[in-house]
């Protein structure tokens, strides 16, 4: 039988399509959670003062919590820990082993972008990673499967509750700064690659401007800020896109 070969473009398009399917599933659950006064923003793109763009899958604003949600739509067994730079995915059917950027780190950057924009310590955003497929082998409360999403958010308890005025204020700020209507995913990916190229050529940390150093990790060498642990910026040596959508 003739083996079918796929181009890198076809593989990339397939991954993007799977990612979008996962986001649509999560969006449906989040829409079912909306009550009067709540708000939901999907596909939010923000730009920080340091020039980084952040593509955020979902931001849910409710009286019982403010949530920044990253969706992942991988099949297989997912392994990872909070402080790992990458997580491992093992597909038991194909026996293929791959790895992804730690989504907790990715979402932490999103949270910092929102925090910088809102600039109000009274509003606490919680990061949440939602896997729509796969079996999780991750010890982190903020990493859940889609079947647990509704109950997780419904049962969240905080005090005091956010008021409709709080939610409207946050919503208005985020929508005012949302660039999703002015920048395409292709442009976003291009800017991310240009940014990474600049970082690698200058060897300067984009967060604190200290020199970068190359360190050896469990899954290969990586760039690290020389001021670690005061600054925890890191980037894989072979990373070609800091804003991958899966």
- Please state whether the predicted TM-score (pTM) of the whole model is above 0.85: no
Residue 240 burial by Cβ neighbours in a 10 Å radius (0-12, 13-18, 19+): exposed
Inform me whether the pLDDT recorded for 221 exceeds 90. Answer: no
Whether residue 27 is found in the same domain as residue 131: yes
Count how many domains the chain has: 2
Whether residue 228 is found in the same domain as residue 156: no
Whether residue 142 is found in the same domain as residue 196: no
- Greater confidence, 103 or 1? 103
Phi-psi region of 171 (alpha: psi -120 to 50; beta: other; left: phi over 0): alpha
Whether residue 16 is found in the same domain as residue 108: yes
For residue 146, the domain's CATH number is: 3.40.1350
Q: Which domain holds residue 233?
A: 184-246
Which pLDDT score, from 0 to 100, does residue 238 have?
Answer: 61
Whether residue 43 is found in the same domain as residue 71: yes
Whole-number mean pLDDT of the chain?
83
Domain boundary among 146, 163, 181: 181
> 1-5, 123-127, 193-197 — which one is most confidently predicted on average?
123-127
Inform me whether the pLDDT recorded for 106 exceeds 90. Answer: no
Residue 3 lies in a domain: no
Whether residue 220 is found in the same domain as residue 171: no
Residue 112 lies in a domain: yes
Residue 197 lies in a domain: yes
Residue 243 lies in a domain: yes
Strands 86-91 and 96-101: antiparallel
pLDDT classification of 10: cutoffs 50, 70, 90: very low
Domain boundary among 159, 181, 203: 181
Tokens of residue 83, six digits: 């402080």
Residue 1 lies in a domain: no
Residues 6 or more apart in contact with residue 162 via CB below 8 angstroms: 61, 62, 63, 64, 65, 66, 123
Residue 92 lies in a domain: yes
- The CB-side HSE value for 23 (13 A sphere, CA atoms) comes to 19
Whether residue 155 is found in the same domain as residue 39: yes
pLDDT classification of 93: cutoffs 50, 70, 90: confident
Whether residue 47 is found in the same domain as residue 84: yes
Domain boundary among 165, 181, 197: 181
Residue 2 lies in a domain: no
Whether residue 214 is found in the same domain as residue 139: no
Whether residue 53 is found in the same domain as residue 121: yes
Whether residue 150 is found in the same domain as residue 238: no
Whether residue 214 is found in the same domain as residue 156: no
pLDDT classification of 8: cutoffs 50, 70, 90: very low
Residue 138 lies in a domain: yes
Burial track 161-180 (b if 16+ CB lie within 10 A, e otherwise): ebeeebbebbbebbeeebeb
């Amino acid at each position: 039988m003739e083996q079918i070969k796929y181009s890198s473009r076809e593989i990339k398009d397939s991954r993007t399509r799977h990612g979008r399917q996962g986001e649509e599933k999560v969006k449906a659950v989040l829409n079912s959670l909306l009550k009067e006064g709540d708000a939901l923003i999907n596909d939010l793109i923000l730009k920080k003062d340091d020039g980084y763009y952040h593509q955020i899958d979902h931001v849910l604003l409710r009286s019982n919590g403010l949530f920044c949600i990253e969706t992942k739509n991988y099949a297989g067994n997912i392994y990872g820990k909070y402080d790992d730079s990458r997580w491992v995915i093992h597909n038991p059917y194909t026996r293929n082993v791959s790895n992804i950027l730690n989504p907790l780190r990715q979402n932490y950057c999103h949270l910092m972008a929102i925090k910088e924009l809102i600039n109000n310590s009274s509003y606490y955003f919680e990061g949440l990673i939602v896997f729509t497929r796969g079996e999780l082998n991750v010890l982190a409360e903020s990493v859940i499967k889609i079947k647990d999403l509704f109950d997780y958010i419904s049962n969240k308890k905080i005090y005091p509750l956010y008021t409709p005025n709080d939610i409207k204020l946050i919503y208005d700020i985020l929508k005012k700064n949302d660039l999703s209507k002015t920048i395409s995913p292709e442009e976003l990916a291009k800017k991310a690659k240009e940014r990474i190229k600049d970082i690698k050529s200058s060897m300067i940390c984009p967060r604190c401007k200290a020199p970068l150093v190359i360190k050896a990790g469990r899954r290969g060498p990586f760039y690290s800020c020389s001021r670690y642990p005061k600054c925890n910026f890191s980037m894989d040596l072979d990373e070609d896109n800091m804003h991958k959508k899966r």
